Chains A and B, each alone.
Chain A
Amino acid sequence: MKPTRIRRALGSASLNWFSIVAGLIVWEAIARRLPHIVLPPPSIVLVRLVEDTLSGKLIVALLGSLEALALGLALAIVVGVPLGFAFGRSRTFADMFDPVLNALYAIPPVAFVPFLIIWFGLHLPARVALVFLMSVFEITVAVTAGARDVNPTQIDVGRSFGARRMDLARKVIFPAALPFIFTGFRIGLVRAINATITAELFFAAINLGALMNDDARRFDTAGLLSVIVLLSLLGLAAQAALRRLEARVLPWHIRAAA
């Protein structure tokens, strides 16, 4: 890296930190004038976050939440990736079912909750179903974009070297679409985290959702905020981890952070 670029990167990173610190100071200053039920200062939220993490309360709840998250996301990947390839590689299939996909996607996921209760009850299967519903579309769309954008020249080269359909799919199209599959996982994972807490609040309250419900009943705004902050940090960390994994697995394709 050239020195100017390092300086620029440093500048933007330190501005990021400055912005975070400044935002927290403003929040603290405003919150000190308000009742803590309305807006607790970040210092209290931070203390709560650390206390509840050390006491294991948050960790136990979080581990419990992971079950529905993992199952729902796995299902969404198993369905979304092949579906995305079908949409991306077959013109006919895309023309036929694109309107159906768009129509289903236009329905707000939470509106399905009463329906999911009828089908799956109030517990784990219902939560898995909501996580699946909320992440499968995003994965399908990202994979579709990837499978559609494979450079036709690469396919022609493969074909002229005698590759068969299966070879083409495995050795040309799949690697070329991998970055988009990663994008799909990344967006899908964040959506799945959101879906998990949504399910825990809208079906029978459990894990982190139960913690939030208890906090809400006790008017414990700091407790609520500590769970929300934990979830958002988790989402950001998951995104960063997948980006790093992508750079590792696909070193030929490091894109600028979008």
Chain B
Amino acid sequence: MLRLAGLAIALGIWELAGRRLGDALLAPPSVVVRQFVPQLFDGSVLPVLAGSLREMSIGFVLAYALGVPAGVLMARSKTVDALFGPWLSMGIVTSIAALVPLFILMFGTGFSFRVAIVFFATVWFVALTVFQGARGIEPRWLEVGRAFGAGPLQSFSKIMLPALYPSLLVGARIGLIHAIRAMVVAETFVVVGYGALIHNSGLSVSTAPLLGLLLLLMLIGIGVTWALRRVSSLIAPWYEDRRSL
């Protein structure tokens, strides 16, 4: 109830402010819905979005496939941690927007550029999240397994992997949020795909289409978060994700 009340208050404020300021500055939600919903189904938005998300997922999958083993190795071996550590902290702080002009010179503005940006924006966060999760695996659990005669393969699949599930999912969630951000950064800069839609709608008289596009991105972000939380509560019900974002 309270959550709905909060959303209702926010929407109410937006509606009132929008009516005061006018569509050119801040279109109220009623106008955004009326204008954007028809646009959504006339084929000018959804196919573009699907194309952008496809490229984004390629970059994300590559980053995930590399980031997860890197994070696990760093957590299990002090040496790997010391070797990867400096590059990881450098990668985490590096601004993705600043990389865009560089990557354009290296890769052009096509498919490989956009995949590279998403990959580079995501891989560090996946590795860091999985690293933090895998570090929490207690040596005691592995010792108990060994005491009960588990081999290395069994102790990996029966002890380490289940203990990793939650951080694998949190890593996917945080990674996807960064991947979507990077997709928008890359596409808005070179004006292509969904980023081009955002860029062009900024030039129109009314802010309604722009706000509609932002709301759609927001729904995707929330949907991804929600879905991964559901998966997490199904396969790792003992783990409670306490991070609010």
Contacts and interface: CB of A to CB of B under 8 A. Distances in A.
Interface string A84-128: 000000001001111111111111111111110111000000000
Contact of A96 (B3, B25, B84): B3
A198 B185 contact: yes
Given A110-B184, A197-B98, A103 B87 contact: no
B96 interface: yes
Contacts of B201: 114
B61 interface: no
Interface residues of A, number: 64
Contacts of A16: 82, 85-86
B130 interface: no
Contact of B6 (A95, A106, A109, A215): A95
B96 A194 contact: yes
Interface string B216-238: 01101110010000000000000
Interface stretch (A51-59, A155-163, A224-232): A224-232
Contacts of B79: 15
B78 A107 contact: no
B5 A96 contact: yes
Interface size class of B (residues with CB under 8 A): 35 or more
A216 interface: yes
B217 A111 contact: yes
B199 interface: yes
Interface of A is mostly: helix
B72 interface: no
A115 to B, nearest CB: 6
Interface of A: 8, 11-13, 15-16, 18-20, 23, 37-39, 92, 95-115, 117-119, 137, 141, 144, 190, 193-194, 197-198, 201-202, 212-213, 215-216, 219, 221, 224-225, 227-228, 231-232, 235-236, 239, 258
16 contacts: A8-B78, A11-B82, A15-B82, A16-B85, A37-B105, A99-B7, A106-B222, A106-B225, A108-B181, A112-B214, A114-B199, A114-B202, A202-B188, A231-B94, A231-B98, A232-B95
Q: Which 4 residue pairs of A and B lie closest in terms of their CB atoms, listed nearest first?
A: A114-B202, A106-B221, A96-B6, A235-B93
Interface of B: 2-3, 5-7, 9-10, 24-25, 78-79, 81-87, 89-90, 93-102, 104-106, 132, 177, 180-181, 183-185, 188-189, 198-199, 201-203, 207, 210-211, 213-214, 217-218, 220-222, 225, 244-245
